[in-house]
Structure 1
Amino acid sequence: MLDAKRTPDDRFANLPGFPWAPHYVDDLPGYEGLRAAYIDEGPQDADRTFLCLHGEPSWSYLYRRMIPVFLGSGARVVAPDFFGFGRSDKPVNQSDYSFDFHRNYLLALVERLDLQHITLVVQDWGGLIGLTLPIAAEFAARLDRLIVMNTAIGTGQPAGPGFMAWKNYALSTPDLPIGALIARGTPHLTPEEIAAYDAPYPDASYKAGAQIFPALVPIEPDMAGADYGRAASAWWSTEWNGASFMAVGDADPVLGPPQMAVLRKQIKGCPEPMMIAGGGHFVQEWGEPIARAALEAFGGR
């Protein structure tokens, strides 16, 4: 079993705007003994499930402004925490994290929960991994719709200087100031909300996943995950026939409008995006109007 840390429950007391109790599973195939956390709200037999995937260095708390809108439509909402983030266990060695480590976890969790009629909701690493899931036929059969925000498909293409600076900073900063990093592009966060983003990490020893995640982005053709990205790009451009909705925080310096225009061309039938004026990288912090617009685009449900 991997050497991992578990954040004490009292770190998550009184999270502002996030009243939902976590669910846990610790026996997923290949992850036995590692406890994964996820939010699972709404009717278990709902005819739609919103699967909300967070990115780096956030956790499912990021979706607190969107979850109530989705629940209000009568849907089921599932929001997992990646290992290394949120309430999920946190392997302490950077070498334990990989593209497959995270991707296979999501596939195993979706199968365990038997999620059906999925609306995939992704941003940042939630998209880098989540957008590769449909190349697994068993996931594609469960997928109906897509909501995509400030992300990309990693196909092994070089990244720009902004991303490289972030990657180098994360790798060289063991005690990443996570709440402050998220707040930097999200000026309306309260001190209590910033603290909620810091809650999963009592100290630097819990942050191996947050440190290594940027270095796992497939920016070279032979990196792990690049083959998934190339296959996913082909799948979304040729095989995808579901409904899509795109929202873009226009103040994101790394995955803003130019990069999202590239992604839009990769997704067959993706309409013009909803632009969030002044919206930063963590655009879910402007999430309520995005969720409402997406539901309207999908016919109100």
Structure 2
Amino acid sequence: MGAESIVGVPMQVVANLIIGFVVFGIALTITGGGEFFMNFATALMGRSRGGPAKVAVVSSAFMGSLSGSAVSNILTTGTITIPAMKRSGYSREYAAAVEACASTGGTLMPPVMGAVAFIMASFLGVSYGEVMMAALLPAVLFYLALLLQVDNYAARKGLTGMPAKDIPRIRDTLLSGWPYLLSLGVLIYMLLVMRLESQAPYYATLILLAIALVRRQQRLRISQLLDFFYQLAHGVGSLVAVLAGIGLVVGGLSYTGLQGFLSRTAVVCR
């Protein structure tokens, strides 16, 4: 249970920072954030050639920027984008590859990135905002390269965009999804300006849930609230269990002296 074992730096970072962002990501999912970002991406990219693949890339970038998890990103957007790509002429292997790459990039896309980004900030002794800003340009370049790839593929295969009847109007989409944009703005402001890294996701979650409770369209139901608490317990429990196992291995290497032995052996061998 020492500071270099189960209750080590990774577990401390999870308790102080990551759990809040897990809460925000789950709240975003149950209140319909995935559907909003999907519609928004469709309104932006649906008409262009290879539209469904570009929708997959853009929607995964939006959703990944707020979840930081490749798995939840695929589960949220992939169930819609992969069948849409297959209907448009993409092979099932290529459709799955596009969604997998786009969803994995969500761990790099600010403001919410993967757990490693928070641990990195703790080890480097800098704010999470600095790590987030450093990751912004590489993440944008990653998604631009992916968009270029699917555009070239669509041009080579002669694939067209989505039917006009399946593309929502961008104005209507923004009007219906303003709570998600508001909570995102609050999160970014509190991270970069107020520097409240541990409290920011909780405030953003409270705003999102409060609007969902009083809003007439897509009002939050009791069953959704129960699902929120279930997913929260499942997500946090899984994360803590994995980190506890890692802590046992690290602690075993440290307290038995094997860690130092392996380091000295590596130096001698080199």
Query: Could you tell me the TM-score, scaled by structure 2's length?
Result: 0.23
Query: Could you tell me the TM-score, scaled by structure 1's length?
Result: 0.21
Higher Cα radius of gyration: 2
Larger proportion of strand = 1
Greater relative contact order (Cα < 8 A, sep 6+)? 2
Larger proportion of helix = 2
